[in-house]
Amino acid sequence: MKKINTLKLVFILLILSVVSVKAQEFPGDDWTFNKFPEQNGWNIKKLKEYRKYITDSTKITGLVIVQNGQIIFNYGDIEENSYIASCRKSVLSMIYGKYVLNGEIDLTKTVLDLGLDDVGGLLPIEKKATIKDIISARSGVYHKEGYPGGMQEYAPKRCSVKPGSYWLYSNWDFNVAGYVFEQETGKNIYDEVQSQLAIPLEMQDWDRSLQNKEGNTSISKYLAYPMWFSTRDMARLGLMMLHNGEWKNKQIINANWVKEMITQRTSPEELNANVPVFKNTGANFGYGYMWWLWKNKDEPKLKGGIFC
């Protein structure tokens, strides 16, 4: 198993998110491959050119395009379980919904209410951050991360902003979101991914034994929850999200929670002002509950597009 560029999974979910769902169907316990995609309007020459582009010009190691419940195009080893990097938070957001809706997780609870603290202590204003702030990446807590991957180089000084008032892509927030999930529900994140998602979606490659928390507890007590999925199993997650949380006439994630997850909490304007890494890239991203939101006004095909 090798670690891969996050683009693998970004492309899976992005492509799925902008395809019409009117004619979508679901795969069985195994994916089927459409051997004649040209009959569904696909240009074979263009697909070959696309494959060459991926090979020559990207770091993508696994990708699928799905139409009508079948794989139209695939690249790389789509069965290999790989480290999905920041996509973990969007998966966590999915499993949050059940417990927000049944009241076990109260998004208005503050860090103080939850009894949370960290190495060296959190300050009074930081303890006013709510769970909602945390899963929106708007906690205003700029304690060091025990697991790198955030954008803390752009963080304001500690205690300089009120919780909820400022967006920053921060692994402190995302790791605490995982801790809060387990504290409030009494459930293990990975066990819940298995029971809420892997089993009902008939994932073919999910391996519970690969899933383990990581982090430097001398820096922060809140561990990260890395996840390992195969490309074809991530495609099942994307297809379910296209159907507003439904899979084969069964509601896997409450449709209202799906809507909540992908409701904009941070605008592209604020995001670019706070973290200028996307400026002049041609991409405009908003942010929801641990989901990125496409907001490209000049490209109608991206309307409603989401990715993790």
- Name the average pLDDT for the chain: 92
Domain membership flag for residue 199:
no
Domain membership flag for residue 232:
no
At residue 24, the pLDDT reads 56
- For the chain, how many structural domains are there in total? 1
Would you say residue 290 has pLDDT above 50? yes
- Of the pLDDT bands very low, low, confident and very high (cuts 50, 70, 90), residue 262 is very high
CA distances from 184 to 5, 192, 195, 247 (A): 33, 13, 18, 27
Domain membership flag for residue 283:
no
User: Residue 297, Cβ neighbours under 10 Å: how many?
Assistant: 9
Domain membership flag for residue 219:
no
Domain membership flag for residue 98:
yes
Q: Which residues of 166-181 are buried (b: 16+ CB within 10 A; e: fewer)?
A: bbbbbbbbbbbbbbbb
Domain membership flag for residue 97:
yes
Mean pLDDT of the region 128-132: 99
- Of the pLDDT bands very low, low, confident and very high (cuts 50, 70, 90), residue 43 is very high
Domain membership flag for residue 120:
yes
Domain membership flag for residue 181:
yes
- Expressed as residue numbers, the domain containing 159 is 87-185
- Of the pLDDT bands very low, low, confident and very high (cuts 50, 70, 90), residue 10 is very low
CB 87 within 8 A of CB 6: yes
